[in-house]
Structure 1
């Protein structure tokens, strides 16, 4: 059965989409069959994998509205080892937050839609929007675990307690088996003492699994989305590609435990 992981943090700009894309691509390179679901109306995961998001007519929005089946929305990402697939998103998804509120069992709609295909993939990665709204709640209700990217900056711990509180609420009320997959540090700058202090501070204050792999601040990693490629295809020898390969190894190891 496929493992479903929500990549979530209500803060924007912490590396959620970068992590979703590159972790998925590195898992695919390691022979895992991966479905990436873009749950953000900004559609950055979709454009970051080379699709023209605003020309798409089959997205996660149409799936949630029951206009198409989930199978109809899946796109294979070419050149990605035959193992990476995407359910894309675009600005239409912004309307789903409001529409879901009027639906019966609104927190379970995504889970219900993904259930028929869950067993067809080793991993289903859900890239959540930077908010704790109904789309993120749906993603966490559907998932086995939550992976939390944290930027190495002064306010890293701000908002994290709110996210953990939300995860605990979902565990208690909607998805008892949900767990925190782990915290991954992103945008680490080895040249600054601040990055090191943030890592130590979070480790001291957070009673959660923290990945050994730390994602560096890397120019090639920042360039890759504008070329519509994950880092392991854009520059496989970069420090960013190396880091996401190591993160993929840790995620696989976690799953096997």
Structure 2
């Protein structure tokens, strides 16, 4: 089971878009895919037009349960597309550390939870909140690979430094090194700022940067408004083609890992 965490300590860089689009592309290949919304603001959950008030159970229920059962997992698992499933977020996730502060292994709850799935999914993609805390720690501890979307503009690159420092610190306490792939997003080849930011990314972070880039594509906004992944709404869109190339670059790495 490939587990990828999509994370950055800066908001608005394309984390949810990356999670949804890659998830849909993997699902279209006929493999079962689970998306996990770790953000209390529930952007990923909202993307699929789901609200906490209408849910029987959420990721918070799964992570806080003392007696996790298959029935509870089923109740919290939403089918949001063909071969595509979601564990939705809830505002209560923001209080997880306070409510479970005395529980041992607080940073490993998600990892232990995923171990109970017994190969049900070929791929799991985790959408993180843009802050370092117990939720991001859980997401990083559970995965083998970290995808870091970075908007191709100067301030976003400065935020990347903070994210990579966090990963470096966590590797000292986590077993096994996480593979890191930096994904340039919202690239506009018409602007000097995007061109210079992309050049700086490659100069500063070299082999960790994906060789392609995700372009600005207004169709991402259209797909979000329709509550469907862009590969479903417009499979030939520029943004979809970019994420297809990203996926092709990632999957051989998982096979050889």
After superposing the two structures, state which structure 1 stretch, 144-153 or 60-69, moved more. 60-69
1:8-61 deviation per Cα after TM superposition (whole angstroms, max 9, x unaligned):
001000000110111110111122321110101111111212323432131101
In 2 relative to 1, CA 230–170 (structure 1 residues): closer, same or farther, beyond 3 Å? same
After superposing the two structures, state which structure 1 stretch, 165-174 or 48-57, moved more. 48-57
Whether the 8 Å CA contact 2:97–2:106 is kept in 1: the answer is no
SS of match in other structure, 2:89 = coil
SS of match in other structure, 1:149 = strand
SS of match in other structure, 2:154 = coil
Q: Any residues of structure 2 matched to 1:193-208 within 5 Å, and which?
A: 193-208=192-207
Measure the CA separation in 1 of the matches of 2:204 and 2:103. 39
Measure the CA separation in 2 of the matches of 1:100 and 1:85. 26
Whether the 8 Å CA contact 2:56–2:75 is kept in 1: the answer is no
Q: Residue 124 of structure 1: CA displacement?
A: 0.6
Equivalent residue, structure 1, for 2:23: 24
TM-score by length of 2: 0.92
Q: Residue 209 of structure 1: CA displacement?
A: 2.1
SS of match in other structure, 2:17 = helix
4+ aligned runs moved over 6 Å, structure 1: none
1:173-216 deviation per Cα after TM superposition (whole angstroms, max 9, x unaligned):
12324221x01011111210111110110110114422123111
1:212-246 deviation per Cα after TM superposition (whole angstroms, max 9, x unaligned):
23111111112211211100112222211222222
Mark the runs of 5 or more structure 2 residues left unpaired by the alignment: none
Measure the CA separation in 2 of the matches of 1:75 and 1:151. 30
Equivalent residue, structure 2, for 1:161: 161
Measure the CA separation in 1 of the matches of 2:199 and 2:234. 30
Equivalent residue, structure 1, for 2:152: 152
Equivalent residue, structure 2, for 1:48: 47
1:73 aligns with 2:72: no
Q: Residue 86 of structure 1: CA displacement?
A: 0.9
1:121 aligns with 2:121: yes
Let me know the Cα RMSD of the aligned residues: 1.7
SS of match in other structure, 1:117 = coil
Equivalent residue, structure 2, for 1:87: 87
SS of match in other structure, 2:108 = helix
Whether the 8 Å CA contact 1:33–1:83 is kept in 2: the answer is yes
Measure the CA separation in 1 of the matches of 2:173 and 2:48. 35
In 2 relative to 1, CA 188–57 (structure 1 residues): closer, same or farther, beyond 3 Å? same
Instruction: Count residues in correspondence.
Output: 252
Equivalent residue, structure 2, for 1:132: 132
TM-score by length of 1: 0.92
Mark the runs of 5 or more structure 1 residues left unpaired by the alignment: none
